[in-house]
A and B are shown apart, each in its own frame.
Chain A
Amino acid sequence: MKHPFQIIKASSNGEFLVTSVKNTVYVSSLKDGRLIGTWCDELDSSYTILKQHESKLKKLEEAERENEEGDASKKTKTNDSKAVKVPKIPVPGPGAPQIYNYIRTLELSKEGDILVLTTDSDKSVVIFKIDLSAENCLIQMKRQPLPKRPCAVSLSLDKKYVTVADKFGDVYNISIDEQTASQEKDLRPILGHVSMLVDIAICEHGGKSFILSADRDEHIRVSNYPKSYVIKGWLYGHSSFISNLHISSFDSNLLISGGGDDYLCLWNWYDEKLLNKVQLRNLVEPYLTDFHLPPERFLSEDSVKEISISKILTYRHPTSDSNLLFVLCENVKAILVFKIEKDYTVNHVQTLALSTSLVDLTLIESDSVLIGSKDTDSQTEIIEFYSIKDSGNLEVLDNELSKSISSSNKIEVNSREEFYPLYYINTLRKRSEH
């Protein structure tokens, strides 16, 4: 069976679909389903360990050399230096957690000419130019390793910088035009939280840019950009971790955020005003399973099933002019559809029940179509198309492309047990005891 696509992202002009499985990226044409680009992260997960080992050896060597030069007179010392233990390459013991090596984030520029992704192996941001006329449309421009694992990326509005947030709470600006990667020690964060960052977004108001950063605590920070040391304010409204920041496609002041809470927040991020909270619990409840219970050691009689939001998308339907909101919750076999009214009230339109959970969801703006990546055993069809009707309702679309795009995924596994973690957002939940 095929490993499900972990991330899918359609270009807004509907020309191609970028997908990722483990450490591989595929670009498929949405015109004929042909594979037009591919890239694989050649470094393996032992890269960091080997690098650390190398630097240890180097330090030892230097120390030895100094010893030889400095203490030539003291013979006893030189004898000792031979006894210096050469550090071993650490090998994970039995029961050690499995090391995964996959692409954590994919980001496409609006025009579909730049692709940014982050890798696990060397904790890098990799920037590609997309040239559809080339044989392999992914042309690697730059690979910038970071000190900590990156977990969210955003492109600056002028497309000169990639902004990347890491697990340590720091955000870096990486120049796209500057071809050579900076030394890790020369990187300076442009802002930082004392918490794991989960998403960032760069947005605009009145000709000025701002950066929104959300963390594993409940904070959404609004900072000026690029002068991000001037914090404009905070958006207070969540009581659990945040996993998604989404600037709506039809109103650049409208931010929709969600994560571990039972609700989504609608904000005017510039005025720092909470416009509405969209309750999801009642809608999602019928689809929750034992998977959504807390891990065993935190389980108690009154534990409730937990909702984690994995995707937020918005779309203005061109014919009906209605503003639609699509929400995907982690490992829930349904897509929720809402309509956002002019006064920011939100009405539920549809809960499209599905046969499988979706790992990811993406929108082809030009075609009024959604694509979902299915968590399925199917060998032939691992993505599904949904057409967005005038009313906002979704309908499963029979599309020949789904077979050809699925077939470009060459990563085969024997059973579901070999899947990489598809649902990990809920692990961000805080379960502190002291």
Chain B
Amino acid sequence: MASVDKRDLNVPTAEASNESKKKQYREKRKDFRDGQKNVSFEENAIELPRKRFYRQRAHSNPFSDHDLAYPSRPDSMDWSQLYPQFYDQEKKAMTSHVEIADIGCGYGGLLISLAKEFSDKLILGMEIRVQVTQYVQDRIDVLRRQEEDNYQNIAVLRGNAMKFLPNFFHKGQLSKMFFCFPDPHFKQRKHKARIITSTLLSEYAYVLRVGGVIYTITDVEDLHNWMAQHLEEHPLFQRLDKEWEEQDKCVCIMTNSTEEGKKVSRNNGRKWIACFERLPNPDDCD
């Protein structure tokens, strides 16, 4: 793969709204992404990707048969591609496993803020929109280049978490799951497309360990009430109180560091937060 010059990535900005320009930009970035493994660069030779070339409409149909790549089972997932520094070449095994998941990670603001806070834990963002995922991936690639020792613990995957979460994670593997500013799906007949439903919560409970936490935040009050109600009604979750929220650093990060969160703050919008702890299974269940 040919080396990519920094200038090549600076697509003229005037007509950047033009779809083909965006595509061109993304393709250059892709060349860079693919070439990165073989070509050496000067330090900081590459700048952070620009969001405007990756914009995609904010909705995606979770029921459609997207052409997704996902492992057939958690054991067949090759995590070393995503977290190369956590792979032990000699033992041929990962030294750590994903413990924190940001479902619908969007442009990756939360991932990046969490990276340093939990530098010893692997954090995975899942996003269903292709271009947005590419953006996050490019962003992480650049951050990793800029600071060799940081951001090795975060990665992003394009996927449909509502369908294929159990293909990625073992029972009780996760300690934290984030649902930040999810698609509100206002119409009643679209409610099943919401990321929090009573039936999906059972799947989240499966991948969360006992004592693990589900974090939700939204700027839509209706959606907040819906999420809180469904979580409260689920026998495997218990709401964490205001006091807990105030002392938890993740709540603070989640409120202030996601792109969507910042946008809401800029517009002086309100944010609703609800966090829930995973309770143990009933004794009579396997």
Q: Which chain B residues in 136-179 approach chain A with CB under 8 Å?
A: 160, 162-164, 166-167, 171
Distance of A187 Cα from B271 Cα, bound (Å): 32
Residue in A192, A223, A227 whose beta carbon sits within 8 Å of that of B282 in the complex = A227
**Which residues from B are CB-within-8-Å of A233?**
171
Distance of A433 Cα from B66 Cα, bound (Å): 7
Does residue B28 face the partner (Cβ distance < 8 Å to A)? no
Distance of A155 Cα from B112 Cα, bound (Å): 50
- Cβ–Cβ contact B236 & A229, under 8 A: yes
Does residue B67 face the partner (Cβ distance < 8 Å to A)? yes
Does residue A234 face the partner (Cβ distance < 8 Å to B)? yes
Distance of A210 Cα from B286 Cα, bound (Å): 9
A–B complex contacts, Cβ < 8 Å, 12 sampled: A170-B199, A189-B198, A192-B199, A194-B160, A219-B166, A227-B284, A229-B198, A229-B202, A230-B282, A231-B206, A236-B167, A430-B65
Residue in B160, B171, B197, B286 whose beta carbon sits within 8 Å of that of A224 in the complex = B286
Does residue A34 face the partner (Cβ distance < 8 Å to B)? no
Smallest CB gap from A429: residue in B: B65
Tell me how far the C-beta of A265 lies from the nearest C-beta in chain B, rounded to whole angstroms. 12
Given the known A-B contacts A227-B284, A229-B205, are A194 and B65 also in contact in the complex, defined by CB atoms under 8 Å? no
Given the known A-B contacts A217-B164, A230-B282, A234-B166, are A192 and B67 also in contact in the complex, defined by CB atoms under 8 Å? no
Distance of A431 Cα from B66 Cα, bound (Å): 9
Does residue A360 face the partner (Cβ distance < 8 Å to B)? no
Does residue B72 face the partner (Cβ distance < 8 Å to A)? yes
**Which residues from B are CB-within-8-Å of A431?**
65
Distance of A191 Cα from B201 Cα, bound (Å): 10
Given the known A-B contacts A239-B72, A432-B65, are A230 and B199 also in contact in the complex, defined by CB atoms under 8 Å? no
Does residue A218 face the partner (Cβ distance < 8 Å to B)? yes
- Cβ–Cβ contact A189 & B282, under 8 A: no
- Cβ–Cβ contact A194 & B202, under 8 A: no
Given the known A-B contacts A217-B164, A434-B67, are A194 and B62 also in contact in the complex, defined by CB atoms under 8 Å? yes
Tell me how far the C-beta of B87 lies from the nearest C-beta in chain A, rounded to whole angstroms. 23
- Cβ–Cβ contact B192 & A434, under 8 A: no
**Which residues from B are CB-within-8-Å of A430?**
65
- Cβ–Cβ contact A194 & B284, under 8 A: no
Does residue B200 face the partner (Cβ distance < 8 Å to A)? yes
Distance of A6 Cα from B64 Cα, bound (Å): 29
- Cβ–Cβ contact A192 & B200, under 8 A: yes
Smallest CB gap from A196: residue in B: B63
**Which residues from A are CB-within-8-Å of B235?**
227, 229
- Cβ–Cβ contact A194 & B198, under 8 A: no
Distance of A217 Cα from B66 Cα, bound (Å): 11
**Which residues from A are CB-within-8-Å of B242?**
none
Smallest CB gap from A206: residue in B: B286
Distance of A421 Cα from B167 Cα, bound (Å): 34
Tell me how far the C-beta of B8 lies from the nearest C-beta in chain A, rounded to whole angstroms. 28
Distance of A248 Cα from B164 Cα, bound (Å): 28
Does residue B97 face the partner (Cβ distance < 8 Å to A)? no
Q: Which chain A residues in 182-230 approach chain B with CB under 8 Å?
A: 188-189, 191-195, 208, 210, 217-219, 223-224, 227-230
Chain A interface helix/strand/loop/mixed: loop
Q: How many residues of A contact B (CB 8 A)?
A: 33
**Which residues from A are CB-within-8-Å of B166?**
219, 234
Given the known A-B contacts A218-B72, A230-B236, A430-B65, are A208 and B286 also in contact in the complex, defined by CB atoms under 8 Å? yes
Give the one of A168, A194, A223, A430 with max B CB within 10 A: A194
19 further contact pairs, Cβ within 8 A, besides A191-B202, A227-B285, A236-B72 = A188-B198, A192-B199, A193-B199, A194-B162, A210-B286, A227-B282, A227-B284, A229-B202, A229-B235, A230-B236, A230-B285, A231-B203, A232-B285, A236-B167, A237-B72, A430-B65, A432-B64, A433-B67, A434-B66
- Cβ–Cβ contact B202 & A223, under 8 A: yes
**Which residues from A are CB-within-8-Å of B199?**
169-170, 189, 191-193
Distance of A232 Cα from B202 Cα, bound (Å): 10
Does residue B73 face the partner (Cβ distance < 8 Å to A)? yes
- Cβ–Cβ contact B234 & A229, under 8 A: yes
Does residue B281 face the partner (Cβ distance < 8 Å to A)? yes
Smallest CB gap from A431: residue in B: B65
Distance of A261 Cα from B72 Cα, bound (Å): 14
- Cβ–Cβ contact B202 & A230, under 8 A: yes
Q: Which chain B residues in 43-72 approach chain A with CB under 8 Å?
A: 62-67, 72
Smallest CB gap from A195: residue in B: B163
- Cβ–Cβ contact A236 & B73, under 8 A: yes
- Cβ–Cβ contact A194 & B286, under 8 A: no
- Cβ–Cβ contact B67 & A432, under 8 A: yes
- Cβ–Cβ contact A168 & B192, under 8 A: yes
Give the one of B67, B73, B171, B199 with max A CB within 10 A: B199
**Which residues from B are CB-within-8-Å of A170?**
199
Smallest CB gap from A188: residue in B: B198
- Cβ–Cβ contact B205 & A232, under 8 A: no
**Which residues from A are CB-within-8-Å of B66?**
432, 434
Distance of A169 Cα from B285 Cα, bound (Å): 23
Distance of A196 Cα from B270 Cα, bound (Å): 37
Tell me how far the C-beta of B41 lies from the nearest C-beta in chain A, rounded to whole angstroms. 33
Tell me how far the C-beta of B182 lies from the nearest C-beta in chain A, rounded to whole angstroms. 14
